[in-house]
Structure 1
Amino acid sequence: MAITLAALVRSLQADLVPYPAGRDVPATPITAVHMSELPDPRQYLEGGELLLTTGLSAVPTVAWFRAFFARLQEAEIAGLALGLGPRFADVPPGFAKAAAAVELPLFIVPVQTPFLTISRRYWQMSAVPGRRQIADALAGHRALIEAATEPNAESAVIRRLAAGVGGWAAHLSPEGALLSVQPAAARSHARQLRDEVARLAVAGVHAAATLPVDDQVVVLHPLADRAGRTGHVAGYIAVGSTETLHPEQRHLVLAGVAVLGAQLNHRRQLAVARSSARAPVLQLLLGDQREAARALAGLVAPAVLDGTHRPAVLTGTDLAFLTEALAADNRCELAWDDGRTLRVLLAGDATSQWLGELVHARPTVSAAIGTAVGWDYLAAAYELLAARAGRAEPGTVAELGVSDGSLLAHLEPAVLTAWARRCLEPILQYERADLVPALVAYLRHSGGWEPAARELGVHRHTLRHRVRRAEELLGVDLDSVDVTAELWLALRALVRA
C-alpha cells in the first residue's frame, strides 16, 4: 500500500508543514523520500519522490527558481520540502511562486527537525503494510497446511483457497471435469473451463493460464503427477475472482497447488499399494487357480465376489501411468500389469467412455471392455478381451457384448480352444482312466448316474469314481451350476461332447 503526502504530513504534524500554512495536502502516492542539494537532481530521481533540500546550491533569483522547478516538474516528483536553517531562515521570495507555477506541493521542515526524521517516518509507515502482508501470507499458508490434515483434505484446501482469493476455487480432473468447487454457487463458472483444459493439456505440466470467464478473472494451474517426474497432469486447480489477483494471492494459489498435488500423489501411492496387494487375485484367477483366487479375494477384495463386474484389457507400451491412474480410481476393483498387458476388473457402472478418455491420451495403447460378468466367467472373458484389444486401433476402446449367456460365442476358435485346454488340463493329462468321456456323459445327463453309466457301458460305481476323480483334479464343485455350465462349454469347445 503506497504512502501518500497527506498521510505523511498527518503523521509528522509539526515536522512537515504545508506551505503556505493551511493549504490542503493532496493524497499523492510517494515512492520514496530523497535528499539532494544538486541544482539538477533529475538523474537520481525515478518519479514520485518527496524531495528534501536546504537549497545550498540555490541562487535566489526568479529565473533560477523557475528553471529549478521546471526540472523538478520534468522529474515528476510528488513534492518538495525545504529545510530551513542552513541556507534560508524562511522561504525566499519567488520560491513558492515558482512551485505554484508548476503545481508542485511545497512543504517546510523546521530548523529543529532533521531530515532523517522525515525519511525514517516514511519507511516506518511503509513497513507496516509490508508486515501486515507478510502476516496475512503466513496465515494463509498456515491455513492451507491445516486444511491438508483434515479428513476431507481436498475440499478443505479448495475452501481455503477460495477464501484466500476472495472468490472461488475448484478442482478439475485431467479431462476438465469438475470434481469439487467452493462455494457451490461458482459451479457454473468452473464448468466452463473444460475447453481451456483441453488446450492446456497439450503443454502438460508446464502451462498455466489466466483467462476471463463471465465477469471473473480465472487462473488455471495444472497439478503435476508424481511431482512432475512423469510429465503427466493429475488434474487442475482453478481460482476465480472479480479482481486480478495480487502477488500474495498468487503465491497462495501456488502453495495450494503444491499442497493439493502432494495430497493427490500420496493418495495415489496408497491406492497403488492397495492395488498391488490385490493384483495376485487376478494372477491366480488367470493361472487356473480359481479356488485360491477366490480365497484371496475374500481377504483383500471381498466385493469382487458379489454381483457382477466389467472386465477390461489394455495393451501397449505406455501402461505404467494407466496402471496408476486406474488403481487410484474407485471404479477399479482389481488391476494386474504383467508388463505387456494390463487386465482390470471395473465396477459394474464403469463406462467405455470413461475408459476411452484415459486411453485416448495414450496413442500407443488399445483396449477392450466387456459387459458385466460373474466371477466364474472372468477367466474366459479376459481371453476374449485380450484378443480383441490386440486388434483394436491405438487410442481406442472396443466394447463387446460379453455376458454370462453369450461369452463363449464371441471367442475365436483358437482363443476358445486355448481357454478350454487350460480349464481341462488336469483331466486331459490324467492317463490312468479316461475321465473326459465320464465327465461328458455325466454332464449330458444332468448328473444322472444310471443313464450316463449305460451310455458308457460301465457300472455306475465306476462312473461315480471317475467323475469324483475329475472333480478332485479340477478342484471344482460339480454341485455348482456355474461350474458345470463352464465345464460343459469347455468340453464342447474341444469337440469332446
Structure 2
Amino acid sequence: MPVTVRDLVQHRPLSIRMLAGDDGVELGWSNSSDLDDPSPFLEAGQLLLTTGRQFLAFDGVGDYEAYVERVAAAGVVALGFGTEVLRAGTPAELIEACESVGIALVEVPYATPFIAVSRFVADRIAAEQRRLLEWALAAQESISRAVLGSGGLAAAVDSASRALGCPLAVLDPDGAVLEGAAPSWLRERAVALLRRGTRARDHGDDDRGSWSVQTLGHSGRLLGAVVAVRSDPLTAAELSVVTLLTALTELALEHAEDQRLGFRSVAQQLLALLRDGRVDAVRRALDHLPAQLPAEPFRILALSAAEVAPTLRDSLERMAAGRGRRLFVVEHDAQLLLFVDGTSRVAVESRLAESETRAGLSSEARWRTLDEALSQAVAALAGAAPARILAFDELMAGTVLGLLTESRVAELARLRLGAQLATPDGAARLGEAAVWLAHNAVWDAAARELGLHRHTLKLRMSELGRDLDLQLDTFRGRAELWAMLVALDLARSSLR
C-alpha cells in the first residue's frame, strides 16, 4: 500500500504528532526547505519538512496562510514542522493556516532528524514498488500460463479480470464478445473505434468509472479489441498486466485469423466428404478446426459469392468459429453456403438482414438428403429478391407460376398487354379476366362476383380476346392470358 501521513504518525520511533488535516493523505516523496518560496523545487504529492526559519519575519496568520497556499499550489500535501531548532512547539498560526487551506500538518520532535523521516518515506515507497512489481510479475505469469494452457484465451481473460478486480472483454472486429464481459455502452464505444479501421486507443474517467478500449491488429486489418472498466484508475503495474493481456490476445487472434483463412480451402474438401456420406469423418476433422457441423435437422442458406462483401464473409466465418454455435461455411459453385441449425440460424439471418444480402433457404434436411437441400437453397436463391431471404417452402407455396414474376415473362407481358393497361377500361377488362379465370372460366360464378350479367361478361371477354389475338375459348389461350396476368401480379388472389 502507498505510504501515508498516518504511517508516519504510527511509526513510534519517529515520535511524530498529527496536528491538522487528513492523516490518510498519500505521500509520493519527502523534502526539506526553509526557503520563503520553495515552490520551484517541489513536486506534487510531497511532504515538506521545515524548521521555520522563514517564519521569523512573518507578522500574523496572513503570512502563514500565504506561505501554505504557495506550497499547496506547488503540490505539497503535508507539512512537517521541526520543533526546538528555532522555537519551542509548532506555531499556532501555522496550524490555523494548514486547517484553513486544507493540508496535513505534523510535528517532528528535535530528536527525530529530517533524514530519518525522508528515509522512512523512501523505504516505504520502495517496498510498495517492489510489492507492485512482484504482483505484476505474478499476474503476468498467471496470464501467460493460462493462455498457453488448455484454457487458452478464455482462461487468460479470466485470470486478468481476477487480478485487476474488474470486468475485461475481448471483442471480435464486429464488436461481438469473444471472451469475458463488458457493459453495452463500452461495447458501443469499441464498435465505433473498430469501424474506423485503424489501430487506436480510447480511454476516459467519468461517472461510469475508468475505462479503456484498445483495438488489435493493423490498420485496415483489425482483429478486434480489448476493453476494461472499473471504479478507480489503473496503476502503472496494473496497466502492465493489461498490456501483456493485449499482446497475448493479439497473438491468439492472429493465429485464429490464420486458421480461419486456411480453413476455406479445407472446407471445400470437407463438403465433398459430406456429399459422399462421410459425416463422421468430417466431424472428427472439425475437432481440430474452427467450425462445427449443425445438428440434424439443419438447413442450408445459399448466397451468391459475387454479392457477398469480404467483410460479411469474414464476419460469418468468425461466427462459425465461435464457441457454442454450430455453423459450417463453405464456398461451392459460385455460392457461399451456410449450414445452420437452431443454435445459429437466427444470428446468421440477422447478420444477413443487417447487410441487406439476399439468400435462399432450404427446407429442413438431413445428411442423407444433403444434395436435395443444396438444390433447394440454390433454387430459392435464384428466386430471391434483393435484400431478401427466400425460403424454398415459400417459393413452392406460390406454385410454379410464382416463378413467372421473377423471369422475363413480366417484361413480355407488359409489352403484350400495354395497350390494355394504358386505359382505365382496358385495365378493368384485365381485372375481370383475372376473376373469370380464377373461377376456372365459369361464367355464372365470375359474373356474380363482378356484379355483371353473364352475357355481358362473355361479350367483354370476347372483345378482350380479339384485341389480344387470343382464343379465350381454348385452354391454350386462357393459359397464356393467365400466365401474363400472374407475371404482372394482376392475379394475386389466385396465388394465395
Range class of TM-score, shorter chain: 0.5 to 0.7
> How do 1:164-243 and structure 2 match up within 5 A?
164-169=163-168, 193-194=183-184, 197-198=187-188, 200-204=190-194, 206=200, 217=209, 219=211, 221=213, 224=216, 227-231=217-221, 234=224, 241=230, 243=231
Cα 1:342–1:118 change in 2 (3 A) is: farther
**Could you say which residue in structure 2 is the equivalent of 1:370?**
362
Q: Give 1:346 shift.
A: 0.5
Match of 1:35 among 32, 35, 54: 32
Indicate the residue corresponding to 2:390 in structure 1: 399
| 145-154 vs 399-408, greater mean Cα deviation | 399-408
Q: CA deviation at 1:136?
A: 1.4
What is the aligned counterpart of 1:294 among 261, 271, 276? 276
Q: Structure 2: 5+ residue runs without aligned partners?
A: 99-104, 285-292, 408-496
Choose which of 328, 331, 345 in structure 2 pairs with 1:333.
Answer: 328
* Aligned-partner Cα distance in 1 for 2:62–2:242: 52
Cα pair 1:83 1:110 within 8 Å, conserved:
no
User: Shift of residue 100 of structure 1?
Assistant: 3.9
Q: Which residue of 2 aligns with 1:266?
A: 255
User: CA contact under 8 A between 1:30 and 1:50: conserved in structure 2?
Assistant: yes
Q: TM-score, normalised by structure 2?
A: 0.58
Which residues of 2 match residues 334-353 of structure 1 at below 5 A? 334-336=329-331, 341-349=334-342, 353=346
Deviation at 1:156, TM superposition (A): 1.6
Structure-2 separation of matches of 1:403 and 1:294 = 29
CA deviation string 1:28-49 (max 9, x = no partner):
4434322334233234345653
Give the secondary-structure state (helix, strand or coil) at the position aligned to 1:313: strand
CA distance in 2: counterparts of 1:195 and 1:101, whole angstroms: 47
**Partners in 2 of 1:410 and 1:218 — Cα distance?**
62
2:173 touches 2:222 (CA, 8 Å); kept in 1?
A: no
Shift of 1:385: 4.6
Asked if 1:246 corresponds to 2:203, the answer is no
Look up the SS of the partner of 2:276 in the other structure.
Answer: helix
Instruction: Verify the 8 A CA contact 1:381 1:407 in the aligned structure 2.
Output: no
Deviations 1:21-69 (A, max 9, x none): x9799624434322334233234345653334466x6585664998467
SS of 1:336's equivalent in the other structure is: strand
Structure 2 CA distance, aligned partners of 1:151 and 1:318? 35
Match of 2:143 in 1: 144
Alignment CA distance shift 1:308-1:149 (3 Å): same
Q: Which residue of 2 aligns with 1:51?
A: 48
Q: Which residue of the partner structure matches residue 387 of structure 1?
A: 382
Cα shift at 1:388? 4.2
- Asked if 2 retains the 8 angstrom alpha-carbon contact of 1:402 and 1:410, the reply is no
User: Does the Cα contact within 8 Å between 2:363 and 2:391 map onto a contact in 1?
Assistant: yes
Question: What is the alpha-carbon distance in structure 2 between the residues aligned to residue 12 and residue 4 of structure 1?
Answer: 15
Q: Deviations along 1:136-174, whole A, 9 cap, x unmatched?
A: 122222211111123232432342133123254556676
TM-score (norm 1): 0.58
Write the distance in 2 (CA, Å) between the matches of 1:348 and 1:58: 83
Separation in 2, partners of 1:161, 1:401: 48
Q: Following the alignment from structure 2 to structure 1, what is the Cα–Cα distance between the partners of residues 46 and 27? A: 5
Question: How far is 1:354 from its partner?
Answer: 1.9
Aligned residues: 375
Distance 1:335 1:209 in 2: 39
Match in the other structure for 1:130:
129
Q: CA deviation at 1:3?
A: 2.5
Task: Call closer, same or farther: CA 1:298–1:24 in 2, change over 3 Å.
Answer: closer
What are the within-5 Å matches in structure 2 for residues 303-322 of structure 1? 309-316=299-306, 319-322=309-312
Structure 1 residue ranges without an equivalent (≥5): 85-89, 183-189, 285-290, 417-497
Residue type at the aligned position of 2:131: R
2:13 equivalent to 1:13: yes
Secondary structure at the aligned position of 1:312 is classed as strand
- The answer on whether the counterparts of 1:311 and 1:344 sit within 8 Å (CA) in structure 2 is yes
CA RMSD, 1 decimal:
4.9
Tell me how far apart the structure 2 counterparts of residues 169 and 255 of structure 1 sit (CA, whole Å).
13
**Alignment partners' CA distance in 1, 2:46 and 2:307:** 64
State whether residues 147 and 156 of structure 1, in contact with CA within 8 Å, keep that contact through their aligned partners in structure 2: yes
- CA offset digits 1:91-131 (Å, max 9, x no partner): 336973543453543324549x4x54443332221121122
- Matched residue type, 1:99: L
**Separation of aligned partners in 2, 1:63 and 1:176:** 66
For the 8 Å contact 1:318–1:362, the answer to whether it is kept is no
**Are positions 1:75 and 2:32 aligned together?**
no
